[in-house]
Structure 1
Amino acid sequence: MTRPPAGPPSEDPGEQPGRNAVPETPVFQPGRAKSAGSKPGGSKPSAAVPDRDVLLTTRQRRRSARDERRQARDAAYELRQQRKKSKDGTSWRGHHIVDSEGLAEAFPDPESPELPSSTVRRRITHGVTLVLLLALVVAAVVLAGMVQRGELELKLGAGRPTPTPESCPAEKLDYPANKTVTVNVYNGGSLEGKAGQVAEELKKRGYPVKDIDNKSTDYGAPTVVVSGPAGHAAAFNMQRNFASSEYVQDDRADGTVDIILTSRFNGLVPPPKVDQTPGVLSCPRLSPPPSEPAATKAAGTPAAAP
């Protein structure tokens, strides 16, 4: 009786091969393959059977890959759980968190040493200086407000010398002819064209008119008559033609007369009512006041209409 050839040890007799059981692959034995596969007549031996590990089925490879992925997920989950358990609030993303106690330990409060006397004096000087600067700024703001409101008037530099008041000419003057009086007419009011109208009226009365322009004045009379010492008679003539006029003397050398019409000007004296009798100039702003008003007439002659 012939015994069967010895083969690999068999699996557990109680284990039944299932669906996914790996079929047994015959083991290649060179001696046996040669005797079994050789035939009389010198035929070629059959091809060698590859190793068992190389002949894994596709289903086994997939199962192995799934097992590896499952193990990787389990390992990552365990690692996360360990990290959560190990958190103590002093680190975040690998960086150490410093709390107030740590800061106090790292940067302790320095001891306050006694300051030297020079430092104390310097600080006191700085404080006093700042207080003085603040006081100067406040005073400047208050003064600026007072000047702006007109409560305070600042005069910078040397003031102008006060001119010696001139006395009003007191000589008695004759009324000169109109054609001998050269007149400059200026508009000192707000009504335009007034100087031109008065100049035309004076030309009709025979006065030579030289200049016609605008000019301001500080006097409040309806008409201001201005001339030099040589023009007293011509100014007297003009005052008789302009009612309520005021005479002002300047330092001009010729005998021309300036007529400045203010906003209160209300017209010339009509030619028939012009007083041509001798008299004196009317200059109430000068001292002493005139001895006889220029607008009055001789006894028995009615006064000129305003």
Structure 2
Amino acid sequence: MLWARTVNRHGARTALLVAGVLLSVTACSSDEPATKTTKSPVCPSSLPAPSFKVSLAQTFLNIYNASSTDGLASRAASELTWRGAHVLSTGNDPNPDDRPEPKAAEIRYGKNGKQVALNLATQVQNAVLYQDDRTNPTVDLILGDGFKFVPVPPPAADRVTLNVYNTTFKSGLSGTVAAALKQRGFKIAQTGNDPGGGFFPDDTAIIRYGEHGEPAARRVQLSVKGARLVKDGRKDETIDLLLGSKFEDVVPAAQATPTIEPTATRPPGC
């Protein structure tokens, strides 16, 4: 108060001005933490067709997980390696703050990798592309929560090795069905009763397959209407067809053809 009484008019005006500025700054300040700006996930858009084909055997990529699913990058790497690609590394997205999380998948590439990226995008549903500053033709595949592969088309019947097993009380059923499927080109390995002793009174058939056997299993399924696919732990690509109690006959050959895969649906929120 003493200081306020001894200052001159000019000083008083200055003091009031400074006080006003301080009050203004104080009023604008807050102990609340600043609101963090979050980046919206990237939604897919239509991509142009590749100008030329780059096979997966010519594709070198890193696979990074930006989803909430543990181990997704490793599983995707196993699938793409089986399809023929060269996976250099896997892990979590090393640049999570630089790019928003993709809804499905993002493929990052450099100035020499666009055609590699566009060809890789044909293997992945709803992928988006992003060009960074790399100069080599490697690409990064970033996996979001909506990540899915484009299914591999079923192989020709003559590329499928098939065991046909009977789980019913109908004698000779596996041999009869195996003969019909052999005429369609399937390679028949074994026939007889199910070595696992399975019994499926409520099923037409069960088709068992291993880690990378789903395309071949879907080829067999085309010939057996209502057959149920069951993945087991086998390491090879052989397929088991187990005939259940509701099995009647194979589908006519003219109807046992694959249909065109439907266009991938957009992820939720896009």
The TM-score normalised by the length of structure 1 is 0.41
Q: Hey, which of these two has a bigger chunk of strand by percent? A: 2
Structure with max Cα Rg: 1
Higher relative contact order (CA 8 A, sep 6+): 2
Q: Hey, which of these two has a bigger chunk of helix by percent? A: 1
